[in-house]
Amino acid sequence: MRDGEQTPGVSLEPEKKVWIARNLDALGVDVIEAGSAITSQGERDGIRAVVREGLKAEICSFARIVKSDIDYAIDCDVDSVHLVVPISDLHITQKLKKDREKVKRTAVDMVEYAKKHGLIVELSGEDASRADLDYVLDVYRAGVEAGADRLCFCDTVGVLNPERTYDIFRKLVTGVKAPVSIHCHDDFGLATANTVAALRAGASQAHVTMNGVGERAGNTSLEEVAIVLKSLYGVNTRIVLENLYPASRLVSRLMGIPVAPNKSLVGDNAFMHESGIHVHGLMANAATYEPITPETIGRKRQIMLGKHAGRSTVELALQGFGLSATGPQLDEITKRVKSLGDMGKHVTDVDLMSIADSVLGNHTVARIKLIDCTILSGNHATPTSSVKLTIDGQEVVESGVGVGPVDAALNALRRSISGVADVKLDDYRVEAITGGTDALVEVWVKMSRDGRVISARGAGPDIIMASVQAFIDGMNRLIEEKNGIVKKAAEP
């Protein structure tokens, strides 16, 4: 969490740190570096909150080779310190304005000080990948003699490559009498490759972050290392693989850092298929175009419709809704889907069902219809929404509050159907179609119910009403699978 939170613009309040820490613990990680205790009072409050959770993982604080850093860590009651010593000549002379011998003495003194106060010590060489390896070994050996429990080699600016990493770690693991960790940054996109190379060479521990978050290009991705080790090298870790995707989503949401759609394993596109050729192969055997099953990491396969979609793609998507079509009907639906795709449009589940209803003659009536939606919001008022709608012809009035007017409106809608279905909003995003203050906006939502995931959209100049439109379309699609009329109890 400490290095991940150094992502520009990210600052985690104590409750968010605790939430993430619980999920990391459930994943099975061995050590959680909860923060740097010297940073601020708020940071210390967050670290203490994580410590109080009584998690199975070892709780660690980052610390420089400065006595006050260690004192603050001790005050937070952590299990260990990640004691970082600048070890390259560039850092020693330009940042610290010192010499090698003085830095080594200080590192030894601080290791002894931390050990005297009952801390587990991981002595870490900052910018080790640009340092003299003989000096790195000298500092490490002195640290171990002083009581350091673990050592860490940091590729601080991501300049290692897998071949050099392997060679370095073969020398380290035979040259020191303590477990050695690898800490990589992804400046050249090699963090995972370098981390795996170090582990192959004998490293005992890897420093990683969920989604690869971190400063600049980020750190090594936890999910990538865990799956690469399992799938490509046959190495089992204690990581609970099916918890990876839920943890990824949580971290993304709490940090406010979206995961790139093409990010390996946890990106939106990782298990999404549009091409007809690919989907045809998937229908025969999922392994044709997927290296692992999405369920391995707690995901589900998604079929995207657009101009690349073929008959197989459309057929599979229709099957997901329990629909079947004759050959000519399937050709016509595919033609219309491609036509929307050629216009640059994303074809949602609602779009597909509208096309299918038209072609197949299934003119279903929406079970949920909006009559009215009002919003109260202001500088000193909690955003509040009131909605009036009908469910299967029965009028329902409900209200909700939220952190903003859109949130309030969607919460009111959720409450209005609570007796019919429990619907979860998985993703929400807004795109401006035109410019200006009267811009036409398009709202996209991804919603789920009982494992069924659908997407829907709404468009218009009013972002609130576009959001409400998208949400209602999605709700109608999710509850459509239930046969018969479901009544909501009348309000008193």
Q: How far apart are CA 293 and CA 371, in angstroms?
A: 43
**For residues 465 and 373, is the Cβ–Cβ distance under 8 A?**
yes
Whether 171 and 54 share a structural domain: yes
Residue 250 has pLDDT above 90, yes or no: yes
Mean pLDDT of 157-168: 98
DSSP state of 370: E
Q: Which residue range forms the structural domain that includes residue 280?
A: 272-360
Query: CATH no. for residue 114?
Result: 3.20.20.70
- One domain, residues 87 and 149: yes
Global pTM reads 0.75
pLDDT greater at residue 337 or residue 26: 26
Q: Answer yes or no: do 15 and 89 share one domain.
A: yes
Say how far apart CA 223 and CA 11 lie, in whole Å. Answer: 22
State the pLDDT confidence band at 487, using cuts at 50, 70 and 90: very low
Higher pLDDT, 309 or 149: 149
The CATH number linked to 402 is: 3.30.160.270
Question: Rounded CA gap, 481 and 7, in Å?
Answer: 43
Classify residue 492: in a domain, yes or no.
no
298: left (phi over 0), alpha (psi -120 to 50) or beta: left
Of the candidates 143, 256, 152, which has an alpha carbon nearest to the alpha carbon of residue 198? 152
| 165-174, 176-185, 445-454: the lowest-pLDDT one | 445-454
What is the rounded distance in angstroms from the CA atom of residue 159 to the CA atom of residue 153? 13
Residue 311: pLDDT over 50: yes
**Measured CA distances, 121 to 64, 129, 414 (Å):** 12, 21, 49
* pLDDT for res 423: 83
Residue 454 has what pLDDT? 80
Closest CA to 375 of 460, 473, 464: 464
pLDDT at 125: 98
Over residues 194-213, mean pLDDT: 98
CB 338 within 8 A of CB 309: yes
Q: Do 80 and 205 have their domain in common?
A: yes
Residue 266 domain-assigned (yes or no): no
Is residue 417 pLDDT above 60, yes or no?
Answer: yes
Q: List the Cα angle 191/195/197 in 5-degree steps.
A: 120
Give a yes or no: residue 91 inside a domain: yes
Note whether residue 263 is domain-resident. no
Cα–Cα distance, 219 to 140 (Å, whole number): 23
Give 277's pLDDT tier (boundaries 50, 70, 90). low
Residue 482 pLDDT exceeds 60: no
Q: How does pLDDT run across 385-406, given as a tens digit for each residue? A: 999 999 888 899 999 999 889 9
DSSP annotation string for 50-116? HHHT--SSEEEEEEES-HHHHHHHHHTT-SEEEEEEE-SHHIIIIIS---HHHHHHHHHHHHHHHHH
Q: What are 215's two structure tokens?
A: 């400063």
Same domain, 284 and 427: no
If one counts the domains in the chain, the total is 3
Domain assignment of residue 196, yes or no: yes
Nearest-angstrom CA–CA distance, 49 and 319: 48
**Does the pLDDT at position 238 exceed 80?**
yes
Domain presence at residue 488: no
Domain-embedded: residue 374: yes
CB 223 within 8 A of CB 239: no
Q: For residues 311 and 334, state if they share a domain.
A: yes
Summarize pLDDT for 464-478 with one digit per residue, the tens: 988 998 898 888 878
